[in-house]
């Protein structure tokens, strides 16, 4: 397969299974199929963006803040936000998710509730991640 940019340019759509745990529990590696399309205008808060980091790594994370000149982005299972993501880095936006052969309605009340609850839980998640990291360091000593 060509790279993501080539596929999006050719077909306007990218269909693939993600790698990694940064968007759990919403998207699970080797289980869910993500359908990404070219964005139609600027992204909105809580859109899931496919973007490319300067090191060439592709990332699928959620927009948590829209700025005048970019975005603040965070994975659903991450504690660190990424700042200053520019429109030029954005390749596409999640338009559909298929789990166990069934499409997840990204416009449903349940999905929107999940998104808001997951982001509201962010401060607690940071505390949990930092506590786990501290305990791991303590155990290693």
Can you state the percent helix, strand and coil of the chain, rounding each to 5?
30, 35, 35
Return the pLDDT at 80. Answer: 94
Q: Which domains does the chain have, with CATH numbers?
A: 4-140 (2.10.109.10)
* DSSP secondary structure, 10-30, as one string: HHSEEEEE--SSTTTTTS-TT
Per-residue pLDDT of the chain (141 residues; tens, 9 = 90+): 458 999 999 999 999 998 999 999 999 998 999 999 999 999 999 999 999 999 999 999 999 999 999 999 999 999 999 999 999 999 999 999 999 899 999 999 999 999 999 999 999 999 999 999 999 999 987
Cα-based distances in Å from 33 to 29, 55, 80? 9, 25, 25
Return the pLDDT at 1. Answer: 42
């Amino acid at each position: 397969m060509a790279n993501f940019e080539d596929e999006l340019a050719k077909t306007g759509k990218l269909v693939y299974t993600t790698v990694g745990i940064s968007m759990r529990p919403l998207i699970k590696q080797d289980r869910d199929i993500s359908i990404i399309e070219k964005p139609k205008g600027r992204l909105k808060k809580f859109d899931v963006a496919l973007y490319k980091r300067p090191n060439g790594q592709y990332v699928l994370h959620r927009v948590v803040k829209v700025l005048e000149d970019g975005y603040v982005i965070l994975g659903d299972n991450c504690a660190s936000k990424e700042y200053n993501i520019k429109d030029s880095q954005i390749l596409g936006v999640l338009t559909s998710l298929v789990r166990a052969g069934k499409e997840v309605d990204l416009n449903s009340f349940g999905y929107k509730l999940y998104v808001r609850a997951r982001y509201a839980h962010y401060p607690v998640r940071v505390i949990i991640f930092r506590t786990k990291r501290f305990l791991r360091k303590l155990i290693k000593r």
